[in-house]
């Protein structure tokens, strides 16, 4: 059986309840309780077995160690939870082919707790910005249409998926998995109920094409959710990634793993993201390749001029190809296949395997026999075509 954080929490709760029923007080040792629970006291006494720690010493040790409060972390950052907000995922345009076909610099991405990037049709990549609470969302965009590879990552978390339009395959998932109630801005290809999005336009000096001028905000998303009767509160009992415990101040240092101060991820020839680790703030600063300029440029948030930075990077390789038939090159990620992954944090890299056997199950990461821990904070998640594996690189 796979041991997860959620299972550990439930087991610890069951143990605590059993202790209470057995009358085990704070001053009793765990050994005493185990002996009473399993009837081991008599056997141990008759065989002459004795604890190597005197009872008084074990009681003193138990009373001197302060009990940690229940683990209740923000699902996206691993920090102590500040509220009970529902996760919101907003689709953000990332096109950068010319002065007119250009979405950069985007707005509101520095406030995102998780930023997901994956290839869509036409060899361009698209972004999905995840926020822990609607009140954390500033102006964000340019807003773009939904794709199922992003929706499938949100579905297990009952997150609100916010976009303007969607592919027919995205609507299929919404229909088949009964997700219409949390899908705002979609289509009705299969008679799925449609909840209209709320957004605004900024012509951006008339330089870029109209389809790259739409933005939304937390205030507008809240209004759209209220119009649709969608609640924006949700009680999460697990986290998107396995995070180092905020209660103890634990850090994931990846000791013994290779150094990785620079990382380059290629989604296609013109859509590449690069990261450089900064020991000063313990984060990877992001750059994106620009086909307009022919070079990498800092990925900045237009609202505040800040370069995007992440405490964790997770790069997952998957089989990606166009849906069969007349699909318009819309890309399908074969999540069920799982695959190779790399976790970068604190300037080091840990090879992993990832899995996601069903759309309604979360993406999980296995450390190949080693525990996997993300550091608390922001994370970048790349879902990358296996065909781009050779172009992926990291260096000390």
DSSP reduced 3-state for 224? helix
Class of the CATH-defined domain 88-395:
alpha beta
**For position 66, what pLDDT does the model report?**
79
Other C-beta atoms closer than 10 Å to the C-beta of 319 total: 15
Tokens 């999905």 map to which residue?
128
Q: Which of 295, 308, 311, 291 is nearest to 107 (CA)?
A: 308
Q: What does the mean pLDDT of the chain come to?
A: 88
The stretch 168-178 carries a mean pLDDT of 97
Residue pair 131/88 in contact (Cβ under 8 Å)? The answer is yes
Structure confidence at residue 33 as a pLDDT band (50, 70, 90): very low
Residue pair 89/130 in contact (Cβ under 8 Å)? The answer is yes
The more confidently predicted of residues 219 and 67 is 219
CA distance between the termini of the chain: 37
Checking phi first, is residue 314 left (phi over 0); if not, alpha (psi -120 to 50) or beta? beta
> Can you count the helices (H) and strands (E) in the chain?
7, 21
Global confidence as pTM: 0.84
Least confident of 63-77, 243-257, 336-350, 352-366: 63-77
Q: Over pLDDT 90: what percentage of the chain?
A: 82
Q: Is the pLDDT of residue 46 over 50?
A: no
**For position 20, what pLDDT does the model report?**
36
Structure confidence at residue 36 as a pLDDT band (50, 70, 90): very low
Please state, in angstroms and rounded to a whole number, the distance separating the CA atoms of residues 338 and 260: 24
Q: Which of 254, 379, 261, 262 is nearest to 311 (CA)?
A: 379
Q: Which two tokens stand for residue 154?
A: 């949100």
Q: Per-residue DSSP letters for 120-142? A: -GGG-EEEEEEESSGGG--SBB-
The stretch 184-210 carries a mean pLDDT of 95
The more confidently predicted of residues 56 and 122 is 122
Which residues face 339 on adjacent strands?
A: 354
**For position 167, what pLDDT does the model report?**
98
Please state, in angstroms and rounded to a whole number, the distance separating the CA atoms of residues 96 and 330: 18
The stretch 351-358 carries a mean pLDDT of 98
CA 372 to chain centre: 14
Task: Tell me the three-class secondary structure of 296-323, residue by residue.
Answer: EEECECCCCCCECEECEEEEEEECEEEC
Q: Is the pLDDT of residue 354 over 50?
A: yes
């Amino acid at each position: 059986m796979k041991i997860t954080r959620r299972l550990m929490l439930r087991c610890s709760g069951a143990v605590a309840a059993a202790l209470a029923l057995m009358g085990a007080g704070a001053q009793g040792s765990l050994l005493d309780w185990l002996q009473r629970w399993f009837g081991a006291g008599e056997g141990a006494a008759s065989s002459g077995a004795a604890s190597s720690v005197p009872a008084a010493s074990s009681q003193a040790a138990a009373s001197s160690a302060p009990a940690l409060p229940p683990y209740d972390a923000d699902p996206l950052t691993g920090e102590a939870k500040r509220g009970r907000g529902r996760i919101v995922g907003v689709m953000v345009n990332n096109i950068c082919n010319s002065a007119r076909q250009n979405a950069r610099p985007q707005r509101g991405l520095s406030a995102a707790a998780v930023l997901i990037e994956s290839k869509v049709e036409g060899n361009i990549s698209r972004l999905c910005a995840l926020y822990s609470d609607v009140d954390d969302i500033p102006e964000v965009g340019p807003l773009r249409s939904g794709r199922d590879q992003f929706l499938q990552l949100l579905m297990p978390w009952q997150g609100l998926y916010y976009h303007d339009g969607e592919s027919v395959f995205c609507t299929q998932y919404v229909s088949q998995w009964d997700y219409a109630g949390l899908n705002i801005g979609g289509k009705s290809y299969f008679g799925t109920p449609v909840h209209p999005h709320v957004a605004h336009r900024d012509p951006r000096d008339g330089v870029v094409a109209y389809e790259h001028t739409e933005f939304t905000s937390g205030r507008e998303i809240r209004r759209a959710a209220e119009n649709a009767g969608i609640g924006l509160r949700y009680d999460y009992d697990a986290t998107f990634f396995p995070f180092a415990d905020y209660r103890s101040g634990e850090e994931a240092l990846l000791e013994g793993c290779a150094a990785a101060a620079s990382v380059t991820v290629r989604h296609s020839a013109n859509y590449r993201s690069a990261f450089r680790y900064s020991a000063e703030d313990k984060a990877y600063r992001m750059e994106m390749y620009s086909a307009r300029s022919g070079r990498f440029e800092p990925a900045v948030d237009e609202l505040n001029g800040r370069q995007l930075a992440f405490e964790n990077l997770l790069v997952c390789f998957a089989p990606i190809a166009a849906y069969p038939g007349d699909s318009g090159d819309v890309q399908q990620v074969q999540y069920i296949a799982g695959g190779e992954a790399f976790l970068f944090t604190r300037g080091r890299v840990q090879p992993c395997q990832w899995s996601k056997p069903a759309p309604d199950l979360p993406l999980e990461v296995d450390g190949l026999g080693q525990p996997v821990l993300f550091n608390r904070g922001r994370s970048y998640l790349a879902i990358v075509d296996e065909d781009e594996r050779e172009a992926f690189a990291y260096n000390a």
